[in-house]
Amino acid sequence: MTRQQDREARLVLTSNFPSTSTDAVSECIRSAGANPLVAWIPPLTSRGRERFPAAQQVFQSLGVSALEFCDIDEEPDDRQLARLDRYDALYFTGGDPLVFRRNIERSGMSEGLRAFLSSGRLVVAASGGAMQFTANVSLYRLLSSTVDVVVGERAAYAGLGFAGYELLPHLNTLDAAFVDKVQRYSARVPCDIVALEDGAAIVHESVDRFRCIGRAVRFREGVRTAIEMS
């Protein structure tokens, strides 16, 4: 990835960054500013507070020393959420995508996110956090519901829609029965499903133009195909 490409990559959706470190994703964050200020956003306050000190150490090892906790659950700071533009990048952690979706809506940060991305600033997200930026988060519900139920209720679980596909993280950890449900689900929904193995990422240079880093597959109309890596 060239420096010019780094500057253009404004939305990076990953399976599990930085648990699996991916050089291209780390470089995107480092390239966001001379000493990038990054907001670290978990779905839940309690679990986020527990994980934040370790996250600070990990991000520091990647060259990011200015990491700030951003609460969207129990103690949201309205002033912080209203001034997302002071950050060079936002990082959304993994976690339950349904809880994440609820708290993004409750905190009122959706519009701020749209303005942040429109301004050309960088968003990096992992797993359940990454699913928020796609067309829908219903894939998570396949863990506990049938394909028929999830398809029938899909309209109630729309994502933020910055990407036109649905995202399935951790493909290499999922059992064959669940992947079969995903494939059958894909035959009944109007958009692609992009599935990432851990360590992989989708780098958007624009809303419609993206490339995959690492191992990824596409489910389209019930057919699974490999995506060429960059």
Interval 8-36: pLDDT, tens? 458 999 999 999 999 999 999 999 988 99
Q: Which residue has the tokens 């990990």?
A: 58
Other C-beta atoms within 10 Å of 177: how many?
7
Q: What is the pLDDT of residues 97-149, one digit of tens each?
A: 999 999 999 999 999 999 999 898 999 999 999 999 999 999 999 999 999 99
Which residues span the domain enclosing 37? 3-226
Can you tell me the mean pLDDT for 43-64? 96
Q: Which residue has the tokens 């851990």?
A: 198
Q: Which pLDDT does position 9 carry in this prediction?
A: 52
Burial class (CB in 10 A: 0-12, 13-18, 19+), 56: middle
> Which distant-in-sequence residues (6+ apart) come within 8 Å of 150 by Cβ?
138, 141, 142, 185
In eight-state DSSP terms, residue 172 is G
Burial class (CB in 10 A: 0-12, 13-18, 19+), 3: exposed
CATH number for the domain including 150? 3.40.50.880
Beta strand spans in the chain (E)? 11-14, 37-41, 66-69, 89-92, 122-126, 166-168, 193-196, 201-204, 210-213, 216-220, 223-226
Torsion of CA 172, 48, 116, 140, to 10 degrees: 40
Q: What is the pLDDT of residues 29-40, one digit of tens each?
A: 999 988 999 999
- Domains identified in the chain, total number: 1
Torsion of CA 74, 69, 172, 180, to 10 degrees: 30
Q: What is the pLDDT of residues 66-102, one digit of tens each?
A: 999 999 999 999 999 999 999 999 999 999 999 999 9
The CA-based angle 118-220-16, given to 5 degrees, is 55
Phi, psi (deg, nearest 5) at residue 196: -115, 135
Least confident range of 113-117, 167-171, 191-195, 223-227: 113-117
Tell me which amino acid residue 175 is. Answer: D
Residues across the chain: 230
